[in-house]
Amino acid sequence: MSAASSLLSEDQFLCSICLDVFTDPVTTPCGHNFCKNCITEHWNIANQYQCPICAKFFHVRPDLRVNTFISEMVAQFRQTAQQEANSSSSEQQKSKPGEVPCDVCTGTRLKALKSCLDCLVSYCETHLEPHLTASRLKRHQLIDPVENLEGRMCMTHDKPLELFCKTDQTCVCMLCTYSDHKTHNFVPLKEEYAEKKAELGKTEAEIQQMIQKRRLKIQEIKQSVKLSKEDANREIEEGVLIFTSLKESVARDLNELIKTIEEKQKTTKKLTKVFIQVLEQEISELMKRSTEVEQLSRSEDHLHLLQSFSPLKDVPTTIDWTEVSVHPASYEGTVVRAVAQLEETLSKEMKKLIEAELKRVQQYEVDVTLDPDTANPSLILSDDGKQVNHGDVKKNLPENPERFSTGLCVLGKQSFSSGRFYFEVQVKGKTAWDFGVTRESINRKGLIILSPEDGFWTIWLRNGNEYEALDAHVVSLCLKSPPQKVGVFVDYEEGLVSFYDVDSAALIYSFTGCFFTEKLYPYFNPGLDDDGKNSAPLIISRVSHSK
């Protein structure tokens, strides 16, 4: 039973012998209370008169009478407890579909609070009370309510499933150990439960670790998206600034072009106007002389004609217009020069862009060293793994799958399967070389074909001045000047491999739309010595940030 009130506690009315609420409570001379029947049977069985609580011995059997005060208190407690029980029962939830109902309730079945594995019965809060108070029931194993408690009984022997057969990995009863599972290995359910629970704990820990890794990966992806967005915004801003500048430059050059042409046109127009004014003035004078000559020729006055003849007989002095002409203004080369100026402006802006891009990719510099286990036996590698050139003598080196057998090649020790990386190679003084990146699974024995299809993304120099990109189709490269140091940049996810002339900050070539699925390694080939003409080594150098 639950507590009847804040003043009446059930513990105050429990008999220490039956552990239930007093029935006909009596008080011993030592002051302890018991049910009359409980203490009487106790003394009858023991055949001596001793208090079960304080062990006080009585030589004469005490005359026990019902303690009316305690009896009244018990009656009051029972009444109050019953009222609360009735109230609690009415407040308890009725079992709903899918919920385990109480097996003891009659009529309206309430929702079960616990199931007893010993009784194989499910109890609501009210009917569970004895299991929480009675000592003989407290030892029963209670679990959260479950259906089909009969399923916890052995189908063969109708006994509780108390053991676990490790041999067959199944639950069995005690009698099974003497029949079908006679020679098998058994452990108590509790022991196997602890073991399986520990395994589940490990599984749960692994799952939580996997969840944590994936949450971290989500954060990493979100951060990557954030950085990508920032990069995109920065590129957009930069692009807007540059194209706005170019647009203004084009507009400015167009205005200059129009102004130049209009100035020429104005000059031509002004000169033409002067010529026309002079010509019109001469025409006016000639027309005036023509009128005078005509009038004189009509005169019949002999004296007047002879006297006026001399001033009018000669044509007025005028400019000889035979060699004078007005040609349209010459505009040849005006537009060409304007476009050339625009091209120069574009070239300057392009150089600024490449310089800025080169500085950005240089931030992804990695420390690359040459792997001697991959080097062709005819190559000489420096002790620090930063230089390689062709030697005169082929060394006797152990053969292994990683080593190049015929091609004068060597790979870097470092591999890359994600992200971005950059390294620089000094090529000063060389007449032939090829380098770039390659995938791990390339052919290292026999003939090597440098192409993306065969796992190589490279450029090369041949004959001192022939530069080519070895793409799906070989691309001839027209460089303004021979590069002394070449930078190699790779964006794994973007599928990009770019080569830069570091000193002039110029883009040499880019492989785009590449699809990488395995590890990438830096690749180097210093070329044949060529009687000393190409003896200079390829040198992996560090990025200089002095600019």
| Per-residue model confidence as pLDDT tens digits over 473-518 | 999 999 989 999 999 999 999 999 999 999 988 999 999 999 999 9
pLDDT at 177 over 60: yes
Q: What is the pLDDT of residues 226-265, one digit of tens each?
A: 988 888 898 888 788 878 887 888 888 788 888 888 888 8
Rounded to two decimals, what is the model's pTM? 0.52
% residues pLDDT > 70 (the chain): 93
**pLDDT tens across 282-301, in order?**
888 889 888 888 887 887 87
Give me the chain's average pLDDT, please.
86
For residue 18, the model assigns a pLDDT of: 81
pLDDT at residue 4, rounded to an integer: 40
**Amino acid 332: pLDDT:** 62
Q: DSSP for 142-209?
A: EES--S-GGGGB-TTT--B--EEETTTTEEE-GGGGGTTTTTS-EEEHHHHHHHHHHHHHHHHHHHHH
Confidence of residue 441 (pLDDT cuts 50, 70, 90): very high
Phi-psi region at 342: left, alpha or beta (left = phi > 0; alpha = psi -120 to 50):
alpha
139: pLDDT strictly greater than 70: yes
Residue 79 to residue 50: CA distance in whole angstroms: 33
Confidence (pLDDT) at 212: 94
Q: C-alpha distances in angstroms, 533 versus 4, 406, 463?
A: 109, 21, 10
Residue 167: Cβ within 10 Å count: 11
- The HSE-up count of residue 79 (CA atoms within 13 Å, CB side) is 6
pLDDT in tens, 52-105: 888 888 888 888 888 888 888 888 887 777 666 555 554 556 767 778 899 888
Contact 24, 36 (CB under 8 A): yes
pLDDT at 2: 44
Q: Are 327 and 275 in contact (CB under 8 A)?
A: no
pLDDT tier at 542, thresholds 50, 70, 90: very high
